[in-house]
């Protein structure tokens, strides 16, 4: 299991999609490829945009299927963050 502390990379308001994409490509995806589980630690992040969460996780669902959600743990999410993550994971599972 690898842990990625997001606050130090994206600050308290996670909105920068470029950074989300970079985290996914450079940290999350390599770990998943190796068969590791990933913990995304949102401690200190108070909010995020749907665009940020989409850039962070949607491609993983597309690439690995919905089972990838069993390998990712969203830690220390407040209510707002939980709901935005649920919106993104919801619509990604309804996609074509």
Partner 1 sequence: MVKIHLPNSAFLGNIDPFLRSFDPSNKNELTITSNNKWVSVHPMVVAIVASLGKGISTEKLKFEAFEARSKHYFERIGLFKFLGINSGISVTEHDPSGRFIPLTRINNSTQLTQFLTEMIPLLHLADNPKQAEPIRYIASELVRNVIEHSQAEDGAIVCAQYYKTSNTIRIGIVDGGVGVRKTITQSHLAQDDFEAIKLALTPGVTGTTRKEGGTELNAGAGLFFIKSIAHVNRDFFLLYSGKAMYKLLKRSLKEEIFLQSDPLKDRHSKEKALPHWNGTAVGIDLCLDNTKEFSVLLDLIRNTYATSVRERRKEKYRKPKFT
Closest to partner 1 by CB, 13 or 37: 13
Q: Within 1-40, which residues bind partner 1 (CB under 8 A)?
A: 11, 13, 15-18, 21
Per the rule left: phi > 0, alpha: psi between -120 and 50, beta: everything else, 76 is left
The burial of 18, by beta-carbon neighbours within 10 Å (0-12 exposed, 13-18 middle, 19 or more buried), is given as exposed
Q: Does 59 bind partner 1 (CB under 8 A)?
A: yes
> Of 1-9, 28-36, 64-72, 80-88, which segment contacts partner 1 by CB under 8 A?
80-88
For partner 1, the binding residue among 7, 29, 58, 76 (CB under 8 A) is 58
């Amino acid at each position: 299991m690898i842990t990625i502390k997001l606050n130090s990379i994206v600050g308290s308001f996670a909105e920068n999609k470029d950074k989300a994409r970079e985290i996914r490509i450079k940290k999350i995806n390599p770990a998943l490829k190796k068969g590791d589980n990933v913990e995304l630690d949102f401690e200190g992040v108070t909010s995020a945009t749907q665009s940020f969460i989409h850039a962070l996780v949607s491609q993983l669902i597309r690439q690995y299927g919905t089972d990838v959600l069993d390998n990712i743990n969203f830690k220390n999410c407040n209510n707002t963050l939980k709901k935005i993550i649920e919106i993104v994971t919801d619509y990604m599972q309804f996609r074509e």
